[in-house]
Structure formats: C-alpha cells, structure tokens
Amino acid sequence: MKKICVVLGLLLLLAIAGTADAQSKKPNVGRSVHSQMDTNGDKVVTVTEHAAFWQKRFKDIDIDNDGKLTAAEFHAATKEFFGNIDVDKNGTLVAKEYFAFWCGPQAKFPEKIKVAQIKKLDADQNDKISANECVAYWAANFYNIDQNHDGIITLDEFIAAMSKRFKEIDHDGDGLVSIQEHAFFMTGKAAPVK
C-alpha cells in the first residue's frame, strides 16, 4: 500500500512538468494526461505508453539534467502542476476537474469518493489502462490527498501530500530522487543503468 501511494505521488509530480511545459508553449486545456499518454491515438493507454510518458516527465522536471530530482525541483513542479489541474483558477481542485485532467473530459467520476486504498492502475493486468481503471486509481488518490475529505483539494493539502511522497520515493534518504528510484517505484523493477 505504501509503495503504491509513493508511486502515485511521483506520478502526480511527473505530470507537472510535462503538462506545464506543453501549456506554457501552447495552451491545450482540453487535453488530459490520459490522452497525452495515448501516443498512437487508439483511445487505449498501454502500460508501455504509461511508463514512457512518466520517464519523459521525470526528465522534464530534472531542470539541471543530473538524473536526480531535488526537493526544490519537486516542489516547484508540484505548485505548477496544481495550477494546471485547477482549470477554473479558484485555488482548489474538485473531483470533476481532477478526473477530467487525469482520465479525460468524458470520465465519469463518482459522486462521493469513499476509497482510501490505492488500486493498481492496470488492475486486470491486461497491459491496458481502461477508463474505469483510470477513474478508480485517481479516485483513491483524490481521497488520500483530500485530508479533511470535504471533496476539495487545497494547494496546502496537495503540497503536503506530494512532499510526503517525495520523502517516501527517496528510498536511500539522500534528499534526491534518482531515475532509478523513480523507475523502481513506478514498476517495482530496477531501471537499466546507462
């Protein structure tokens, strides 16, 4: 459970840079992270497409290109990412904008989110991430970030959750998240050393 929460935190962070970079160059508010992952446009995100997307996000956030994320790089990306999800720019995230961002505007989000346990993104292990799997995964994440469970994620809640996850991802406790630590928490497997 802890490992899955850690992965989820890094997933959130890693989307920050790529989405922010794409939106700063050319606004594309209607494009969800889920659709950005679907590189072949077949409306299905495979586990391979998912992994490739997050590897690129890691590199985008790594401003100094040293193969490691500092707490400062992570924090800056977290704040920018929050702003990208907050479509109405009111300083909070509600379920509708959260799920639309992660799973697309057609995503059917639950009226009440009562789940705290993170499920696997590819729960049926068919190497494809369905719309239902996407919503189930991000619903659990929304619930865990929304500390007071009022259906709204504030910037403070978001930053607190992501800061905690940074420390959990930093497996060796050196204050940096390496590409190897990232890959391990994303997949449970060590990244190839280059």
Query: Is residue 192, in this structure, part of any structural domain at all?
Result: no
114 lies in some domain:
yes
Question: Does the residue 193 lie in any domain?
Answer: no
Domain span at 16: 2-187
Query: What is the pTM assigned to this prediction?
Result: 0.73
pLDDT given for residue 17 in this prediction: 41
Q: Is residue 194 part of a domain?
A: no
pLDDT confidence of residue 107:
77
Please give the tally of structural domains in the chain.
Answer: 1
pLDDT tens digits for range 26-73: 333 346 787 888 888 887 888 888 888 888 888 889 999 998 999 999
Q: Report yes or no on 38 lying in a domain.
A: yes
DSSP string, the chain: -HHHHHHHHHHHHHHHHHHHHHHHHS--TT--HHHHH-TT-SS-EEHHHHHHHHHHHHHHH-TT-SSEEEHHHHHHHHHHHHHHH-TT-SSEEEHHHHHHHHH-TT----SS----SPPPTTTT-SSEE-HHHHHHHHHHHHHHH-TT-SSEEEHHHHHHHHHHHHHHH-TT-SSEEEHHHHHHHHHSSPPPP-
Tens digits of residue pLDDT in 137-187: 888 889 889 999 898 999 999 999 999 988 988 989 999 999 888 777 765
Residue 123 scores a pLDDT above 60 = yes
> Is 110 within a domain?
yes
